[in-house]
Every structure is written in structure tokens, then in C-alpha cells.
Amino acid sequence: FNKNARQSPDNFVSADDEKMASENLRIVMKDDYFPSFSCPSIIGFYCIDEKRQFLPSSKNLKYLLRPNPTAKLNLNSGFETYIPKTETIENEERIDSLFHWISHNQYFSTLTQEREYTFVCFRGLLTTIMRTPYERQEDWFISAVKVKNVIFLCTFHTDDKKAKIQASKTKQEEYFEFWGRKFEQYMLTDDPRKKPDLLKPVNANEEFCLVFRAKLNSNRLIYGGETDGINNRKLTDPDSQLKSISPAEFVELKTNRIIQSSHQDRNFKKFKLLKWWSQSFLVGIQKIICGFRDDDGIVRQFHDFRTSDLTKMAQQFWSPRVCMRFLDDFLNFVKATMESEPDMSQWRFDWKPGWPQVTAEKMTPSSVYNIIPSWFLNECKN
């Protein structure tokens, strides 16, 4: 690292009492404390359309409509017309949709009126950090830029990730991806009084996102997260009703292969449930509906999981306390690193499996990793 490189402070360094996490990343766990995490509240919503453009609307909001529990859903139907995400390595998406949401809702002035710092990012970035103590395969690279008392965070593809994207998907990977999306189409409808349109091509570009506000210890957070559907009657006026709805009204949909061996059960708990829990816990979703499928892509059973039960099911493998404390430590480290920096300075934070610490490095100003669009900066000046 260059001379600007810093290493995270002692709170990332080892303790013997947390063997699970310390296998690959050492963190202090001297006591049982769980950081305080306020129940996230919904402060807004937006859509991403089929061209991956921001829409200040609830057009893509979907409602849960459960099929007959004995139905055998064939997840292969329509595979030929599937439209995957259009994102490529060259046009890696940043957090522009959040800037559009902030601008549309004139929210930047609300944030700068606070005395404390606020972090703005996607939910996916937070779950990546939360899982770091248990991560053995994927590295990460986060760029951070500060404007006044707001720190914007955005992940970028690492070289490893770029190589994975460039190696084209196997047919089986294409099917796995499609099956998850097709399951959503079977379970969700635009209007709960009408059955889903199962003939419409599945388009992975379209999203409905909620924007949340939460607080982890002293760290204020604003984050956007793609949301599968709401378990509710038809909202008469979604644009005004959505902001007063509890996140517990939303559901997360998942598919998984039917579990038939202790090896599969172990992998499910160790890896899948950590992903499922971190994703839903952060946005206050309490119900995860899984369609268990066979190897041919036929859903054979449904099972509803309570998000809070996942931690008990998987307590042998990971602890939510480790995840949330690591996230809190990371945010404190970012804040301590950037607090005394001038506005617009760019820092990168990196971690790879096997590294005992997260590193921070000041970047020379460049447009490559500058996550703040110029139109947004111009707005801030006015």
C-alpha cells in the first residue's frame, strides 16, 4: 500500500473467544453485547425500469398471492424469453438511483441538518460487510466519498469479481438464476385481485426498491434495497401509503434445492441462511417464503421461515452479534478515517479472505471511483 494506507485499529484484532469468526478475520468479542439497531423504517421507494432507469414511482410494487400449496410449480417455463440484467463490466452501476431518490425528495438538506454523520449506501453493501467475518471466498472493495456530514459508500467489482463475470455462465447457472426469478413471478402479482401473468417474459432489470432509515449504535444509515413483494390488500394510494407501512408487511421470496442429506443441511445453514438473514434482518422483513425445488426446477414444497428463527437454526455456524458488531466497527473505522478529511476526498476500503484487517487508502481524485454524479454536486451547491 502507498504511504496513505491505513490499517484498521485494534478493535479488529484477535480474541480467542469467537472461534467461528476468528477463523479468517480476527475481531474482539470480549462480551455478549449486541449493538443497538433501531427497527428500520421505510422513508421512501422508487423503481428501476426495464432500461435500468430510475423512476420515482411505485409502478413495480408487487403483491404476494400464494398459489395452491399443493401446486407443483415448473420454474422452467419461459426460460427462452428470459431477459437477464443488462449490467456489464464496462458500465458497472453505482449508487445513482439513491442520488436520484435523494434529489427527487430534497432529502440532502434533511441529512445535512443532522449533527451526526449519516452513511448512504445500498443494503447489499451492508450485508457484504456483515458477512465478512465468515467470508472465505469473495473479496470486496468499497469507495467512500464525504460531502459535509454525509458519507456515501459504493462497492466496486474487484479483479476477482470481474474475472468471474467475464467467464460466461454455464447453462446450469443460467437456469439457477432464472428459476429464482420465475418463482417470484409465480408468487407475485401487480394486483392481488388478479392472478399473476405467467406468460410475460421475466425481466431481471425491473425492480421495486424501498429506502430505509436506521441507526446502528451511533451510526445513522440510509439505504436502498430491492424488495420482492408486500403481503397486503391492494393499496388504494401506494405513493402515500407506502411510507407509513411497517417493513414487516413485506416478504422475501427464495428458492432452494430440496434438502436431502446432512451435507446439504449444513451448507444451507452455514451459507444460505447467513445470506437470507442478513438481507431480511437489515430491512425488517420478518417472513421469508422458500420454494424447495428438485434438480429439474420443479417446486415440490413451500416453507415459511421467520427471519428471527434463522439465527437459532444456524447458531452452530454464525452469530448475528458478530455480524452486527463487525458492521458497527467498520462504520466507525470509515468515520474515523474520513472525519478530518476535506469534502470530496475519496477513500477506498478493501478486504480479502485471509486478511486479518480491513485497509483504507486515500485515492488520488479521479472520476473512475468518484461515486457522486456531477449533477448532484451542482444541486448541493445551489
Mask 233-252, x = binds ligand A3P (CB under 6 A)? --------------------
Mask 198-227, x = binds Mg ion (CB under 5 A)? ----------------------------x-
Residue 160 vs 226, nearer CB to Mg ion:
226
Query: Is residue 293 a contact residue for ligand A3P (CB under 6 A)?
Result: no
Q: At closest approach, how far in Å is the CB of 85 from ligand A3P? A: 9
Residue 131 vs 181, nearer CB to ligand A3P:
181
Q: At closest approach, how far in Å is the CB of 360 from ligand A3P? A: 26
Task: Give the three cell numbers for residue 95.
Answer: 449508487
Task: Give the three cell numbers for residue 149.
Answer: 456530514
Query: Is residue 253 a contact residue for Mg ion (CB under 5 A)?
Result: yes
Query: Is residue 220 a contact residue for ligand A3P (CB under 6 A)?
Result: no
Q: Which of 18, 207, 228, 329 binds ligand A3P (CB under 6 A)?
A: 228
Strand order in the sheet with 229-230: 73-74, 298-306, 287-293, 250-257, 229-230, 63-64, 188-189
Q: At closest approach, how far in Å is the CB of 97 from ligand A3P? A: 16
Residue 82 vs 355, nearer CB to Mg ion:
82
Mask 165-194, x = binds ligand A3P (CB under 6 A)? ------------x--xx-x-----------
Query: Is residue 255 a contact residue for ligand A3P (CB under 6 A)?
Result: yes
Residue 137 vs 364, nearer CB to ligand A3P:
137
Q: At closest approach, how far in Å is the CB of 194 from ligand A3P? A: 22
Strand order in the sheet with 346-351: 6-7, 359-362, 346-351, 140-147, 150-156, 118-122, 219-226, 207-216, 41-48, 54-55
**Candidates 9-17, 246-254, 288-296, 364-372; binding stretch for Mg ion (CB under 5 A):** 246-254
Query: Is residue 94 a contact residue for ligand A3P (CB under 6 A)?
Result: no
Query: How far is residue 277's CA from residue 213's CA, in Å, rounded to a whole number?
Result: 18
User: CB nearest ligand A3P: which residue?
Assistant: 180
Residue 292 vs 355, nearer CB to ligand A3P:
292
Contact of 148 with 343, CB cutoff 8 Å: yes
Q: At closest approach, how far in Å is the CB of 204 from Mg ion? A: 10
Residue 145 vs 188, nearer CB to ligand A3P:
188
User: What is the sign, positive or negative, of the torsion defined by CA atoms of 143, 376, 115, 38?
Assistant: negative
For the chain, the first-to-last Cα distance in angstroms comes to 38
Which residues, 6 or more positions from 119, have their beta carbon under 8 angstroms from its beta carbon? 150, 151, 152, 153, 219, 220, 221, 222, 223, 331, 334
Contact of 293 with 258, CB cutoff 8 Å: yes
Query: How far is residue 15's CA from residue 382's CA, in Å, rounded to a whole number?
Result: 49
Count of beta carbons in the 10 Å neighbourhood of residue 176: 16
**β-strands 207-216, 219-226 pairing:** antiparallel
Residue 58 vs 255, nearer CB to ligand A3P:
255
Query: How far is residue 138's CA from residue 342's CA, in Å, rounded to a whole number?
Result: 32
**Residues binding Mg ion (CB under 5 A):** 226, 228, 253
**Residues binding ligand A3P (CB under 6 A):** 177, 180-181, 183, 228, 254-255
